[in-house]
Structure 1
Amino acid sequence: MNTVVSEGIIKVTSQCKACDHCSFICPTGAISGTLGQKHQINVGKCINCGQCLISCPFGAIEDISMVEQVKQALKDPRKTVVVQEAPAVRVALGEEFGQPPGTNVKEKMYAALRKLGFDQVFDTEFTADLTIMEEGTELIYRVFNALGVEGYEDIGPLPQFTSCCPAWIKYAEDKFPRILPYISSAKSPQQMFGPIAKTYLPEKLGVNPTDIFVVSVMPCTAKKYECSRPEMIASGFQDVDAVITTRELAQMIKEAGIDFLSLPNEKADRFIGLSTGAATIFGATGGVMEAALRTAYELLSGEILDKVEFKAVRGMQPVREATVEIPVKQLGKVIPVNVCIVTGIKHVDSIIEDVLNGRSNYHFIEVMNCPGGCINGGGQPIRRDTY
């Protein structure tokens, strides 16, 4: 897996027509080349988001594939192969089989995964809830620290940035390392799933942890980079063994001769418990923010929300802001929480500069690299017929 990190996830192939479209799309200036010359990707600057890949009109950019690793694991009788799928996959996979964009095909997806040979089929929603519990609680602690509440002096500063998007995290590490203390310490749902799948699940299934092979189906090419980061070994093993994209899952289904649309509707296996609607909205910009605010509101106020939707944080503008009034039972007063949602890395620099120079009045900032959020990730179906 270290080879993947050192060589990069995204590659420009020999099919490059040197049209320069990818250079225009790249949010970090990682692609170099001039009109008429094959372009190159600077691995140091690349955040593995795959936006160049899905935008290339000639299909000349590819992401490194882990499909063969998955196929080998599925053939190995010693392996228990478990799979998780992100919420954004279920509403995009159907496009590969002629369904209208946005069609929810999760129950047929579960059936297809079992047909492919996966032993356990889970939904990432459960660990998305874990991420929100961690991130929402951390936000509360940071607010208490800022208010001078005793016992929270060692908690990180405000504002708190979200930590779910691996492309955003790499961008922050590469360009703004001083902002790292402001980023939530919570792992992404994918990386929370891995350790549980290799610790709790072996006990539940009665198998050796070394025989568990964890696969993620993600809308995001950067998740391939995330799973191979050397620190992602909380279980004592590589927590997530392989990531395949929505496109790659569709290709595996087609290669296996599975009639996807004729499959019966099936349910995911029960991992530990049920998931909430908060996990479902992760795939859209503002979703992580909204879910975290729901958690923070209930924990701080001690009240169950009558209306669980924070519509002020929704929308498609690249930068959105809102103020949410949250009653804090412990302090006996209402606190205005200022939030900001950024969709698209190219819009985040000025916000970071304001934070580092003490000019920001935000408490919580969500950053997603891909326009509109994970639903438009680099691993989603490509509609070149719309060009």
Structure 2
Amino acid sequence: MASKKGNSLLETRRRNRVLIKNMIFRMENARRTAIAEELGLTLPTITTSVNEMLTEGILEEIPITEGQLVNNMGRRPNAIAFRAEAAYAIGVELGPYATRAVLMNLRGEVIESTEYERAAENYQGMLGKVANIIQELMDKAGDKRLLGVGVGLPGFIDREKGIIRSNPRGDWIGKNLAADLEEKVHLPILVDNNVRLRAVGQEMSMQGEKPDSFAYFFVSRGVACPLMLKEDVVSGYTAGAGEIGHTVLSVNGELKCVDDLGSEGAIFAKCQEAMLAGRLPELKERMQKEGHLAMEQILEVQMQGDDEVNAIIDQAIGYLGIALANVVNLINPGYVVADSCLFSVEKNRQRLLEAAKGNFFGLNEEEVQIVFTPFDRFRGAKGAGYFLIRELFLNV
């Protein structure tokens, strides 16, 4: 019995430490008393665990300035934070347009970032290139402590085993990406769907007051909307990313999926059709200059006032608004984060709000808050890095 009691106490201390680490990571100006209040733990419990981590060198104390104090009475407390250089993580996103990677410190700050062409269709070719990218960042990290590598990619991923169950690149399907990369770079590898990791990164980087749950509405080549609840994505470990792009809408009596109506891929198809018909000369000139068609080019032409491009985007976002309203009507998240290059243009943000809120059922505008996260090409890679930090540092 004594042994069981001892083991129980050790497990309680371990769980408390995990809770405390996660709270410190997510709090701005974290103080012992505030952590105790948030977690419902005693101040001596917090102090003991924090002092251990200070001794280990993974935490440091930071003086709080007068402007950060709630009041100026009594002894000025110190905030506690993770030492940025105590550990590092690498995040990689094998996105639909490019491969991007970052080296992050223990506070989620990007130290190095790099971008390459879209990953090869051939699995072995992709594997070698990604291993080289990781090695480049490992070299830049030097002798710093590296926790491992987080990798995000589209499709259905078995994140427990690191196996790609489904992916637009057929040659990748069924491959154990985690094991294959570990063999090449000799670091722990965690793999998951790239949009799920974007949602994880969003949650981990939100400091101060934040919702307990939110939907992450992401529009790229396809459309996805995972739901975050209590610091994790709601869906199984073998699931995708809330693949709302594969849901169906009725358009003029014909059934079509959201990806074919409102995604960037749908906008590309409409613009290419117009260019083949001899229209959109400005967009065609930009495309020929760059050698490929990109959403940034389409948005530039839109902002110049091109009526046809405006109409194409307006129609697509109208369908996106209906899809988002379906999510809200089904699960009522209360808080939605919208992420897309499309929404870097103000009129497109307003169009989405108009289309979504016009289709809410039994809700008013104040009951659902839709916020637009600034578009960042490296957000997916950062999300993979955040996920790695959570799984291999905060939760152990």
Q: By the TM > 0.5 criterion, same fold?
A: no
Q: Which has the larger radius of gyration?
A: 2
Report the structure, 1 or 2, having the larger helix content: 2
TM-score relative to the length of structure 1: 0.27
Choose between structure 1 and 2 for higher RCO, CA contacts under 8 A separated by at least 6 residues: 1
TM-score relative to the length of structure 2: 0.27
